[in-house]
Amino acid sequence: MTAVRSLTAVADWRSWAVFRRNGLVFLRNWRTAVIPPAMEPVIFFLAFGIGFGGFIEDLDYRGTLINYATYVAPGLIAYTGFGTPYYEALYSAYVRMFYQKTWDGILATQVELPSVVWGEILWGAVRGMVNISIVASVIAVFDLLGVVDVRLEFLVFLPVLGFFAGCAFASFALIFTAIVPAIDHMNYPVFLIGWPLSLVSNTFFPVEPESAALRALMQLNPVYQLAECARGLLVLGNPGSHLLGLLGSTALFLVPCTLLSVRLTRRRVLGD
Amino acid sequence: MTTAILEARDLTKSYGDRVVVDHLDLSCRPGTVLGLLGPNGAGKTTTLRMLYGFVPPDEGTIYYGGKRFSENRAEAKRMIGVSTQDDSLDYDFTVAQNLLIYASYFRPRVENLEGRVSELLERFDLTPYADESPHVLSGGYVRRLLIARSIVHRPSVLFLDEPTTGLDPSARLDVWELIDGMRADGLGIVLTTHYMDEAERLSDELLVIHEGRNVVHGEPHRVIDSVLGDHVIIVPRAEPAREEIAAWLQDRGAEQVATVLGELRVPVSKEDLAALTARFGDATWQVRPPNLDDLFIALARRNGRPT
């Protein structure tokens, strides 16, 4: 029953009240909140896609030859879709929880803890949508310049897909937010989990493990599914089985991570 | 007598093998202040956290407005306002926006919210800072904003957890006035404080807890009288007969002989005071009414803690 309440809190007005609070703060500081973080994948695109890509021959993607910049563009969508909610739920949520005591204030109202967790998850996912939209706009410009060759009409679907996957990434990050003793300890989830996960998910280069177990494991990785879904849409206009894979792996991540986040956050914030 | 707006019966909470709150009863009526007192580690914070709904009690029941908290959680939380000891203001917003955003965490929505915010800014003397960040506020004004925020939704019960800690005497008096005003408005207030003068002057009833249990409960003067008696005598460190007086009082049954910075402090009855005057007429001492500081020292000694 508690688990059901924790999961259904996503539809509760309280979760959206927390989401709204974060959104209002974002709107006050949108320039600094959007432009620098969204520039990171753009710089990556320039450095890897165009710079590094100049030394790489065309790749065969599901029977279609594409240049490296075209290969890496959907990878950057996945990288952004993962990194933005993940780091938002790690650092920004930690600051709100620990330093600003914003959650303490909120919890002294009608808002319950699962709603605080969901508010942060939804907010992280929407931040992912925003940054994916910026990266998608940059990809569109490079498509018009002839640097990449993508199906522009499918770019609009990517923020929506990123939102669903972003919920899973934010819920995953909140587990660490609830347990790290101090903000310096965020280095563990950042460098030992975040970075490796964003690199071995067909974002910047194809990963084709020999082992069947590793291949199966990859199917459960929502970053990989997001990258392949975006690539399928942008290159072929068809995500193939990766759309289902993305929704399935997102659900597989989201449900246990949310339940665990609620449990651990309850222990940390409420001492229960 | 007015019906209690908050009532808790048999509250019990343990962490591991340690019983932190042990079958505690308390109640608070509209328009009154309940002072919840106890030394550090007495179980006050855990009691408050159960009353806020942060942690569930292992045993016992909490009622708000006569309804069980556990069964009417949302409705009950709409009835309570909480001003925590820590500064939990939202520094991403201005002073006025802090009130507005806080109100958004309640349903049904606050009626005439803009008017309510203006009213609170005026009443708490925060109007000049309405559009400023809370960063510009002094400690006293931060506390005003925290209290104003906690009543923006017009609750029936207000929890004030150490509302004057860290404030200068003038700011403390201002907060006292505000508390008094809210009580006059009919709010039931649960106050925790380490300032005994504050508890004594503001509380209509006191509940003193120690090791999670109700030690003494009632009107402040009755609480003090029931534990301490009529007077406290203070024998200065320089008084040569100090040790002799202490021994004499202990022989007469005085249990709460405390030494504070070399001074002897002993609660005594009228009869003991008369006998002491007759026996040690040449000695020097002061006599004053007992207060909550004496009560705390007495309770600590009773429970084996050094004073």
| pLDDT tens column, A209-246 | 899 999 999 999 999 999 999 999 999 999 999 999 99
Judged against a pLDDT cut of 80, whether residue B103 lies above it is answered with yes
Q: Does domain B6-224 have CATH number 3.40.50.720?
A: no
| Assembly ipTM | 0.91
Which region among A44-53, A78-87, B176-185, B294-303 has the lowest average model confidence (pLDDT)? B294-303
Which region among B121-125, B166-170, B187-191 has the lowest average model confidence (pLDDT)? B166-170
Parts of chain B belonging to CATH 3.30.70.980: 230-289
Using a 10 angstrom Cβ sphere, with 0-12 exposed, 13-18 middle and 19 or more buried, the burial of residue B143 is buried
Tell me the shortest Cα–Cα distance from A13 to chain B, in angstroms.
9
- Kindly indicate the confidence band of residue B221, based on its pLDDT and cuts at 50, 70 and 90: confident
Beta bridge partners of B268: B231
- Kindly indicate the confidence band of residue B307, based on its pLDDT and cuts at 50, 70 and 90: very low
Distance CA A112, CA A118 (A): 10
Nearest to B55 by CA among A69, A107, A76, A177: A107
Peptide bond into B30 cis (omega under 30): no
Secondary structure (3-state) at B135: helix
> Which residues 6+ apart lie within 8 Å of A166 measured at CB?
A81, A82, A84, A85, A124, A125, A126, A127, A128, A129
pLDDT digits (tens, 9 = 90+) for B62-84: 999 999 999 999 999 999 999 99
Say which CATH architecture domain B230-289 belongs to.
Answer: 2-Layer Sandwich (3.30)
Parts of chain B belonging to CATH 3.40.50.300: 6-224
Distance CA B245, CA A155 (A): 91
CB contact under 8 A, B82 and A110: no
Q: Indicate which of B83, B90, B161 best probes the interface with A, i.e. most A CBs within 10 Å of its own CB.
A: B90
Mean pLDDT value across chain B: 92
- Give me the mean pLDDT over the A63-88 stretch: 96
Nearest to B88 among A13, A20, A105 (CB): A105
Stronger pLDDT, B253 or A188, i.e. the higher one: A188
Chain A residue numbers touching B77 (CB-CB < 8 A):
109-110
